A and B are shown apart, each in its own frame.
Chain A
Amino acid sequence: MLKILPLAVTTAILFNSSPVFASSETDAIQQQLEAIKKEYGQAINDLENRLLKAEENAQQANERVQEVTVKLEESKTSRPVSSGQNSFNPAISLVLDGQFASFDNDPEDYELPGFSLGNEAGLGEKGLSIGHSELSMSANIDDKFFGKITLAFDEHDGETETELEEAFIQTLGLGNGFTLKAGRFFSEIGYLNQQHGHAWDFADAPLIYRGLFGDQLVDDGVQMTWLAPTDTFLQLGAELLGGNRFPAGGRTSGIGAWTAFADIGGDIGIEHSWQLGLSHWQSDNIKDRKSGGHAHGGGEAETPSFSGDSKISALDLVYKWAPNGNPNNQSFKFQFEYFDRDEDGNVVMLNSGPPLETTSYDGDQKGWYAQAVYKFKPQWQVGLRYDWLDSDNRGSDADVLAEAGLDNEGHTPKRYSATLEWLPSEFSRLRLQYNQDESYEETDHQLLLQYTMSLGSHGAHQF
Chain B
Amino acid sequence: MFHQWKNKVWLAALLLTLCANTAYAQLNIFACEPEWAALTRTLAGDAANVYSATTAQQDPHHIQARPSLIAKVRRADLLVCTGAELEVGWLPLLLRKSGNAKIQTGQAGYFMATDHVSLLEKPTVLDRSLGDIHAAGNPHIHLDPFRVQQVAEALAITLTTIDPANKNNYRENLQRFNLEWRKAISQWQKQSEKLRGKRIVVSHNNWVYLEHWLGLERLAVLEPQPGIPPNSKHLAKVLAQLEQNPADMILHASYQNDRPVLWLSQKTGLPVVGVDFSPSDKNSLIQWFDGVLNQLLRTES
Contact = CB atoms under 8 A, between A and B. Distances in A.
Chains A and B come from one and the same complex: yes
Given A426-B227, A463-B65, A68 B115 contact: no
Interface string B62-81: 11111110111011000000
A232 B97 contact: no
A72 B70 contact: no
Given A174-B101, A460-B65, A79 B72 contact: no
A124 interface: no
Given A143-B106, A173-B104, A461-B65, A230 B227 contact: no
Interface residues of B, number: 68
A234 interface: yes
Interface in A417-461: 424-427, 455, 458, 460-461
A73 to B, nearest CB: 10
B58 A72 contact: no
A193 interface: no
Nearest to B74: A227
Chain B interface mostly = loop
A177 B99 contact: yes
B104 A172 contact: yes
B89 interface: yes
Contacts of A49: none
B67 A273 contact: yes
Nearest to B182: A68
Interface in B247-262: 255-257
Interface in A262-302: 263-267, 270, 273-275
A233 B71 contact: yes
A463 B61 CA distance: 15
B132 A425 contact: yes
Contact of B58 (A226, A267, A324): A324
Contacts of B192: none
Contacts of A160: none
B93 A328 contact: no
A65 interface: yes
A227 B99 CA distance: 7
A427 B74 CA distance: 29
A354 interface: no
Given A172-B95, A426-B132, A461 B89 contact: yes
Given A267-B66, A427-B128, A75 B106 contact: no
B176 interface: no
Contacts of A265: 66-68
Nearest to B91: A460
30 contacts: A64-B189, A68-B185, A75-B118, A79-B114, A79-B137, A140-B105, A170-B96, A172-B96, A172-B101, A173-B99, A173-B104, A177-B99, A179-B96, A179-B97, A226-B99, A227-B97, A228-B18, A230-B19, A233-B68, A233-B70, A234-B71, A274-B67, A275-B67, A326-B62, A379-B229, A425-B227, A460-B65, A460-B88, A461-B65, A462-B65
Interface of B: 18-19, 21-22, 54-55, 57-59, 61-68, 70-72, 74-75, 85, 88-93, 95-107, 114-119, 128, 131-132, 136-137, 144, 146-147, 149-150, 182, 185-186, 189, 227-229, 255-257
